[in-house]
Amino acid sequence: MNDQLDHQQIDFDKMQGLLPAIVQDAASGEVLMLGFMNREAYEQTLQAGYVTFFSRTRSQLWTKGETSGNRLELVSAATDCDRDTVLLQVRVLGEGVVCHLGTRSCFTQSLPFRAEAERSLP
């Protein structure tokens, strides 16, 4: 992390008001989920220190874990070179489960690919 920057410099225009937010476990490095934030969700997240997204399907703010208790406590936050994505390192509270299907991470379905198959040939 080289610099700190002003929140007004975050680019919400590239995706019509939404910013992709990658959520990573601060301790293990495991990528847990990806959500989207509008400016209000972004500001609320940094203000409160708990991750709030903007639900695209429900068109409303959604503080992750507000019902389950598995809130995402912000440990560190960074943006990328063109300031149109954020990476949030978090500590998962409650039972430590992030996915609504009951797993820690949402990324549980592996995708087969040809190069992998070829590499594993004898």
Q: What residue ranges bind a copy of itself (CB under 8 A)?
A: 1-5, 7, 14, 20, 22, 24, 28-31, 33-34, 45-50, 56, 74, 76-81, 83, 85-87, 99-101, 103, 106-116, 119
Nearer to a copy of itself, 95 or 100 (CB): 100
Nearer to a copy of itself, 61 or 106 (CB): 106
Distance CA 89, CA 33 (A): 11
Residue 122 CB, nearest distance to a copy of itself (Å)?
18
Largest CA distance in the chain: 54
Distances (CA, A) of 61 to 37, 51, 92: 8, 10, 19
Spatial CA neighbour of 73 closest among 24, 35, 38, 31: 24
Residue 49 CB, nearest distance to a copy of itself (Å)?
3
